[in-house]
Amino acid sequence: MEKKDLRIIFMGTPEFAVETLQALVEGGYNVVAVVTQPDKPVGRHQDTLQAPAVKQYALSKGLPVLQPVKMKDPLFIEELKKYNADIQVVVAFRMLPEVVWNMPKYGTFNVHAALLPQYRGAAPINWAVINGEKQTGVTTFFLDHDIDTGRIIMQEPFEIKEDYNAEDVYNGLMHLGAGIAIKTIDKIIEGNGHVDSMPQEEMIKTGEEMHNAPKIFKETCFINWEQTANSLYDFIRGMAPYPGAWTNMTDKNGKQNVLKIFKSTKTMIPCNGKKEGTIMVFNGKFLVATKNAWLQLDEIQLSGKKRMNANMFLNGFRNIEEYTLG
């Protein structure tokens, strides 16, 4: 089988998925159509529609684009069938019904931003960083009835360095994901449609703790200062730069304002019984008491203000030590 013989439908929405689609197109693979989310209303009055990143790239390359509101829509299903795809490649897209993922004769595989079976779910990058993992990676697997549980085809590891935030890992896995998608397709071509895969159950080690990666909401990003400095450091970088970890900044009269924290530094300075969330300025540094040691805040954003260096923030803020965080 040659590249031109394998008819591929690509499914994805954000920039993360564009990297893989671009690799397929520039690699000379036969992408016959692209499926993505509908355009989203943006702007203050929500009166302007913005196309997903995948759609923008697909149109620039002259590829047909399908944007179903509902994946089970009979009209969409019929249109999808007309492309007679041999395989579907999914990257950062929504859950597919069986009538869609089971349509191509060689199946549908997903590029997942984690080393399955760990970190099944919508936000694997964020949760891997939040949990202080030293390694993550990308996985290709065949879709089946449940979310992120299908047979694994290939995996590639990625090192999470001590100072990486979610964006650093996102960028690394975006490139790695494109590469593993190409390798997976090449394997399918070499096997004339067949490729070896392994059930995820066989990859779980006895006694291994399993981590999930559920969708992140605003409440998920709220900082609980009653944790160790190390845990909070990981939490902040796992939420940075988006959606951003946040806390309430409360003055002595009880008035609150939201403070987002994008970057911090661990210290070895013990809190000596100070209540968690207590603020201290030491040598010009913005410090907050945690369960065990002071955490230094480096990049922050007060509601209604611009994101800035903490030193600049302190220069323009009086009596900061009269406030508490939490």
DSSP string, 143-157: --SSTT-SPEEEEEE
**196 and 107 within one domain:** yes
CATH number of 230's domain: 3.10.25.10
Note the pLDDT of residue 139. 98
Cα–Cα distance for residue pair 236/246, rounded to 1 Å:
9
Q: Does 175 fall in a domain?
A: yes
DSSP string, 238-263: HTTTTT-EEEEEE-TT--EEEEEEEE
Cα–Cα distance for residue pair 47/81, rounded to 1 Å:
33
Q: Does 211 fall in a domain?
A: no
**192 and 86 within one domain:** yes
Note the pLDDT of residue 33. 98
Note the pLDDT of residue 193. 92
Q: Does 208 fall in a domain?
A: no
Q: Tally helices (H) and strands (E) across the chain.
A: 8, 16
Note the pLDDT of residue 296. 98
Q: Does 209 fall in a domain?
A: no
- What mean pLDDT comes out for the span 63-67? 98
- What mean pLDDT comes out for the span 51-68? 98
**What are 247-299's pLDDT values in tens digits?**
999 999 999 999 999 999 999 999 998 999 999 999 999 999 999 999 999 99
**240 and 155 within one domain:** no
Confidence tier at 225 by pLDDT (50, 70, 90): very high
**81 and 187 within one domain:** yes
Note the pLDDT of residue 45. 74
**160 and 42 within one domain:** yes
Note the pLDDT of residue 44. 75
Range of 257's domain? 219-325
**What are 162-204's pLDDT values in tens digits?**
999 999 999 999 999 999 999 999 999 999 999 999 999 999 8
Q: Does 294 fall in a domain?
A: yes
Which class for 41: exposed (0-12), middle (13-18), buried (19 or more C-beta within 10 A)?
Answer: exposed
Note the pLDDT of residue 303. 94
Note the pLDDT of residue 206. 81
Q: Does 121 fall in a domain?
A: yes
Note the pLDDT of residue 207. 84
Task: State what percent of residues in the chain have pLDDT above 70.
Answer: 100
Note the pLDDT of residue 14. 96
**304 and 255 within one domain:** yes
**176 and 273 within one domain:** no
**238 and 90 within one domain:** no
**What are 2-21's pLDDT values in tens digits?**
898 999 999 999 999 999 99
**39 and 143 within one domain:** yes
Q: How many domains does the chain have?
A: 2
**229 and 171 within one domain:** no
Q: Which two tokens stand for residue 230?
A: 């190390």
**167 and 93 within one domain:** yes
Cα–Cα distance for residue pair 30/28, rounded to 1 Å:
7
**What are 30-57's pLDDT values in tens digits?**
999 999 999 998 877 777 899 999 999 9
Give the distance from CA 281 to its chain's centroid: 34
Q: Does 314 fall in a domain?
A: yes
Q: Does 210 fall in a domain?
A: no
| Position 149, amino acid | T
Task: State what percent of residues in the chain have pLDDT above 90.
Answer: 91
**93 and 11 within one domain:** yes
Note the pLDDT of residue 298. 98
Last residue within a domain, chosen from 203, 233, 264: 203
